[in-house]
Amino acid sequence: MAALTGAESLVETFLAEGVNLCFANPGTSEMHFVAALDSHPDMRCVLCLFEGGASGAADGYFRMSGKVAATMFHLAPGFGNAFANLHNARKAGSGMVNVMGEHARHHLAYDSPLKGDTAGISGTISHWTRTVTDASSVARDGAEAVAAARGGNGRLATLILPADTAWGEGAAAETGTVSAKECPSEEDILAAVRALKTPNTAMLIGGEAAYGEGLRRAGGIAEKAGARLIAPLFVSRLERGVGTPLVEQLPYAGDLAGDMLQGLETIVCVGAKPPVNFFAYPGKPSLPTDPGCKVVELCTPDMNADYTLDALADALESTQPTLLRDLAIPDAPPDGPLSAESACTVISRWIPEGAIVVNEAITSGRTFSAQSVGARRHDLLNGAIGGAIGGGLPVALGASIACPDRPVLALIGDGSAMYTLQVLWTMARERLNVTAVIFANRTYNILHQELAAMGAGAPGRNAQRMFDLNDPSLDWVKLAEGHGVRGTRVETVRSLEKALDETAKTSGPSLIEVVL
Amino acid sequence: MAALTGAESLVETFLAEGVNLCFANPGTSEMHFVAALDSHPDMRCVLCLFEGGASGAADGYFRMSGKVAATMFHLAPGFGNAFANLHNARKAGSGMVNVMGEHARHHLAYDSPLKGDTAGISGTISHWTRTVTDASSVARDGAEAVAAARGGNGRLATLILPADTAWGEGAAAETGTVSAKECPSEEDILAAVRALKTPNTAMLIGGEAAYGEGLRRAGGIAEKAGARLIAPLFVSRLERGVGTPLVEQLPYAGDLAGDMLQGLETIVCVGAKPPVNFFAYPGKPSLPTDPGCKVVELCTPDMNADYTLDALADALESTQPTLLRDLAIPDAPPDGPLSAESACTVISRWIPEGAIVVNEAITSGRTFSAQSVGARRHDLLNGAIGGAIGGGLPVALGASIACPDRPVLALIGDGSAMYTLQVLWTMARERLNVTAVIFANRTYNILHQELAAMGAGAPGRNAQRMFDLNDPSLDWVKLAEGHGVRGTRVETVRSLEKALDETAKTSGPSLIEVVL
C-alpha cells in the first residue's frame, strides 16, 4: 500500500471521527488537502465563495446537528475573512475544526506575499490552535483538533497545516479523546434548588437547556420551583411555539431588559451566561439586573447542562411541564403597504411546523419574537449572536444542511445580508430549502436609533451617508437572481403572504425582498 | 466654547493633519465618532457595505495619492472583515489610520456579545496599535497614529477607541511628527554603484522607484550602468506604456521567474523586497534567483527611495533615460468568441491615456502584462498584492477617489470579484469612473492549474465542486445591476470593443462580464 500523505491522514482521521462535511475556500497552499478530499468522496465538500460563509455555515450546522464540521481557509487572510463569523460561532458555543493552510516551513524564511501571522490571528479567536510540525503527526494533531472542537459544548479548534506537512508522509488515522464536561457539585445543585424555590427567582437558560428534552426538563423544574424561565435574546437555538414551556426572552434594549428583570432577587444560569447589556451608554448601567440581584452561574455554557438539569429535576422531583404555550397565531393584518411589524405578523402566521427560523433583522425583526411566541413549533437561531452582522445567511445555510427536511426561514436586514450575500450561491448549488426574507428598509436603522438616543438631533450629511443604503437602492431580486436564487419583491401584506406560500410549493432557495 | 468630546478631538486632529477622507463601516460603539464626523462636513465619509471594501479602498487611495485615509471598523469582528485587505495593504506598503471601536472600558468587565480581542487581532497585522486610555489623550493618540501611518513609506496604524474615551471630554487637536525615513549609507551607495556597473546585474524596483520621476531616474541609472530594470509582478504601482523606461516584470510561476533571472549575478533592490516565489512546491526552490546571485537590499520598501535614487544618479552622473518604450498597440484580434488572451488584447488596445489599471485576473489576466507593455501610458496596480483575493475592486474604488479625473479599469477574475462585490454599490453611489471587467471563466482556474501541476490527474467530484463556480453560473449583469451599476455581457471580440467604447461615453461605473 502506498504511503499516505499527511493531508490524506488528516482526511482519514476526520472520517474516522465522523467529521464528514467540509465548508471550504481552498487555495494553492491547501492543494494536497484538496487532493486528499478528492480521493475520499464520502467527505462532503461545500464550496463557499467567501470564507465568512464557511465559518457561519459550520456554526449553523453545529447548532442544529450538534456535530462538528471542518472548514478550510487559505492562510491568514482566509482566516481573517472567516473571523467575524468565527466570533459569532464562539459566542454561540459552536464547535468546528478549522484547517488553515500555511506555507511549507522552509518557505517561511522568506517574506512571500501570503506570509502572515497564522497562529497569531487564530489565537485571537480560537480556543485551541496548533501548527503541525511534522507530516507524521498530522493524524494525531487532527484527532486532537476534533477532540478539542468537541470539548465543553463545542469549541473552535484550528489546525494550521504547513504545505510540507500536507505533502510529506503521514501516519495512520487516529481518534482522539474528548475530555468530560464539568458538572456542578452536589452542594451547588442543592443551593440552586433552594434558590429556585424562593420568590422572585428565574432560571436563565441556553445551550441544551433551550431546546428538546433539555428545554422540557427546564420547564418542569421552573414550574415545580415556581421560578420564571428566561432565555437571552442572543440565543444559539431556542425551541418555541405551541406546546413548548413558557419562556420569556430578553429584549435588546438595556432599559427594557432591566424592566423584565426588575424585582428578580436570584437568577440561576443553566447553559447561559449572566445577562449583560449589549453596549454601554453614558450614565447607564452595564447590567440589566437589579443591583442586589444574585446571579448564580450553576452551569456555564461550557459545562454539562444535561447532568445539571437531571440533578435539579431529581432534587426537586419535577416532571414534564404542564404549563405549555397554546397555539396563538396573530390575526392577519389588513392588506396594504408592509411595515416591519406587519411583515413579522405575516411571517409568524406562516411559519410551518418544524421550521428553523434564523433572525438577523436587527430592527425590523424586533417584534418577531413576541408575535411568534405561540406560532407553530420552530427553532429560533439568532443570526448575529456575537453582534457581528453577516451571520444570518451563513447560519441558515449550515442549518439547512444539518436538517435538509426542515424548512429554513432566514429573516435578515438588508444591511446585514450585504455582508455575506455570496452565501446565496451556495444555497442554490446545494438546492437548499431556505427562504431568505430581506427587510429592505434601505438603512442601518439601528444606527439611526442609536444616534437619536444620543440626543444628537437630526443626522447631517455625513451621518446620513454612513447610515443609509440608498442612492442607489439595492435591487435584491437581481442580487438573488445573480446568485442563481429565485427572487421576488413584495410591498404589500397580501403579496408577502402569496410569496411565502409560493416558496412552500417549490424546491430550492428563494429570496423575498420586503420593501419597507 | 463647549468642551470637545474625545471623538471630536480625533476628527479635528485628523483634519489638522490633512486626513480628510474616511472609509467607514460604523456601528453603535462608534456612534460618538459618527456624531463628530457629522459635525465636520469637510471630512468626506465614504460608506462601504463590508469592511474589506473600506480597507482595500484606503490601500488604493494611498497607492495613487500617497495620502493616508482613515477607516472606521466596528470592534474585533469589523476589523476581522477588513483583515484580508489590510494584509494586501501591508504588502503594498500603503499607509492608513484605522479607527477601531471598542466597548467603554467599564463594560469590558462583562462578557457581552461583541467583546473580543481588539488589540490582539490588530497586533497580528498592524505596524502600530494603541488602545486609548483616556478621553483627554485621544487627540495626542490620534496625531501619533497619523504619524505612524506616515512612517517609512506608509504603514498600518490602528487606534482602538473605547466608547467612553469617545464620549468623554477631549483635548485640543494635535499634530504629530513623522520620523525621518532611513537612508542607505554613502558606502552602501558606492558599493551598489560598483555592483550595478558589473555585467549581469539588475535593479529591482518598487515603491517610488516604480512610477513618476522616481521611475525615470531609475531608468536613467540602469541605462548609464548597463543594468537591467525589473519590477515584481505583485507591484503596488508601476507606470507603464509608451514613453516609460524599459522595465521587465517578473512572471507568476517560479520556473518562469527563474528563467527571467537566470544568469544574474547581482540584484540591487530599490524600494522592493528580494524576489521570492509565491508558494513552495515539493522539490522546487523557494527563490527564483540563481543560487550564487547576490541580492543587495540597498533601499528596503520602508526606506527613502527618493534619496537613494538621487544618490545613485549623482554617483553615476546619470540623467534621464533615453531608452523608452515605443508605442506598441497589439493588432486587433479577429472577431469571434473571446478567450482570456484575446480579451486582454482588446483591453490593451483600448487603454486610454492616463488610465489606472488594476489587475486581479489571476489566470485570465496573465498575458495582459506583456500585451500592454507598449500601450498608452497607464499605472498598473496589482489587486491581490498580498495574495488575498478580493483586493481588486476595493483598490479600484480607492484609486478612483484619489484620481477622479483618470479612468480606472479593473480586470478581475470572477472568483476574486465575488469576495468583495459589495464595493460595486459604493462605486455607484460615489459616481466613480470605474470600468470593472469580470473574466467569467466560472472557475478558480488557478487551482485547476495547481492540481494539474501536482500530477494528481483529472479532478474528481470533490475537487470540481471546490474549484468550479458553475451549477449555477453567476450572472454578473444582474449582480452589477443589483448594486446599481450598469452591466453588459460580452462573448465576442467585437462586442467587448463596443462595450469598452460605451463606458467611455457614459459617466459612473460600468461592469462588463467577459464570458470565457
pLDDT digits (tens, 9 = 90+) for A51-66: 999 999 999 999 999 9
Q: Residue B431's pLDDT is what?
A: 97
Q: Residue B409's pLDDT is what?
A: 98
CA end-to-end distance (rounded Å), chain B: 64
pLDDT score of B1 more than 60: no
A70 neighbors A45 (Cβ within 8 angstroms): no
* pLDDT tens readout for residues A95-152: 999 999 999 999 999 999 999 999 999 999 999 999 999 999 999 999 999 999 999 9
Distance from CA of A243 to the nearest CA of B (A): 30
B466 neighbors A47 (Cβ within 8 angstroms): yes
The residues pairing with A248 across neighbouring beta strands, listed in sequence order, are: A230
Angle at the Cα of B210 from the Cα atoms of B157 and A27, rounded to 5 degrees: 65
* pLDDT tens readout for residues B379-406: 999 999 999 999 999 999 999 999 999 9
pLDDT range class, residue A2, cuts 50, 70, 90: low
CB contact under 8 A, A282 and B45: no
Q: Residue A44's pLDDT is what?
A: 97
**H-helix or E-strand spanning residue A161:** strand A156-162
List strand residue ranges (DSSP E) for B13-127, in order: 21-24, 44-47, 69-73, 96-102
Q: Residue A453's pLDDT is what?
A: 81
- Give contacts of A109 with chain B, Cβ < 8 Å: 286
Q: Does A3 touch chain B (CB under 8 A)?
A: no
Q: Does B282 touch chain A (CB under 8 A)?
A: yes
CB contact under 8 A, A278 and B43: no
* pLDDT tens readout for residues B443-476: 999 899 988 887 777 899 999 999 999 999 999 9
pLDDT score of A328 more than 70: yes
How far apart (Å, rounded) are the C-alpha atoms in residues B130 and B152?
Answer: 18
- Torsion sign, CA atoms A67, A82, B450, A146: negative
Q: Does A226 touch chain B (CB under 8 A)?
A: no
pLDDT range class, residue A450, cuts 50, 70, 90: confident
**What average pLDDT does the segment A375-381 reach?**
98
- Give contacts of B477 with chain A, Cβ < 8 Å: 482
Q: Residue A163's pLDDT is what?
A: 96
Tell me the percentage of chain B whose pLDDT exceeds 90: 94
**What average pLDDT does the segment A71-95 reach?**
98
Cell numbers for B292, please give them. 550564487
Neighbour tally for A179: CB within 10 Å: 11
**What average pLDDT does the segment B482-488 reach?**
98
Q: What is the DSSP letter of A214?
A: H
Cell numbers for B367, please give them. 498575458
ipTM: 0.97
Among B26-40, B145-159, B406-420, the range scoring the smallest mean pLDDT is: B26-40
- Give contacts of B278 with chain A, Cβ < 8 Å: 28, 112-114
**What average pLDDT does the segment B192-202 reach?**
97
B371 neighbors B398 (Cβ within 8 angstroms): no
* pLDDT tens readout for residues B57-78: 999 999 999 999 999 999 999 9
* pLDDT tens readout for residues A138-195: 999 999 999 999 999 999 999 999 999 999 999 999 999 999 999 999 999 999 999 9
Q: Does B109 touch chain A (CB under 8 A)?
A: yes
- Per-window interface: A 442-501 vs B, CB < 8 A: 444, 446-447, 450-451, 454, 456, 459-463, 465-467, 469, 471-479, 481-484
CB contact under 8 A, A43 and B462: yes
- Give contacts of A46 with chain B, Cβ < 8 Å: 465
Q: Residue A362's pLDDT is what?
A: 86
- Give contacts of A419 with chain B, Cβ < 8 Å: 49-50, 81, 422
Q: Does B219 touch chain A (CB under 8 A)?
A: no
CA end-to-end distance (rounded Å), chain A: 63
Task: Please give the mean pLDDT across all residues of chain B.
Answer: 96
Task: Please give the mean pLDDT across all residues of chain A.
Answer: 96
CB contact under 8 A, A474 and B425: yes
Q: Residue A456's pLDDT is what?
A: 73
CB contact under 8 A, B451 and A88: no
Q: Residue A181's pLDDT is what?
A: 96
Q: Does A119 touch chain B (CB under 8 A)?
A: no
**H-helix or E-strand spanning residue A147:** helix A138-149
Q: Residue B2's pLDDT is what?
A: 66
Q: Residue A26's pLDDT is what?
A: 87
Tell me the percentage of chain A whose pLDDT exceeds 70: 100
How far apart (Å, rounded) are the C-alpha atoms in residues A203 and A206?
Answer: 10
**What average pLDDT does the segment A294-320 reach?**
97
CA gyration radius for chain B?
24
Burial A388-423 (b: 16+ CB within 10 A, else e): bbbbbbbbbbbbbbbbeebbbbbbbbbbbbbbbbbb
CB contact under 8 A, A32 and B475: no
Q: Does B3 touch chain A (CB under 8 A)?
A: no
Q: What residue type is B307 in one-letter code? A: Y
Crossing angle between the packed helical segments B392-402 and B51-65, to the nearest 10 degrees: 50
Torsion of CA B189, B195, B198, B199, to 10 degrees: -120
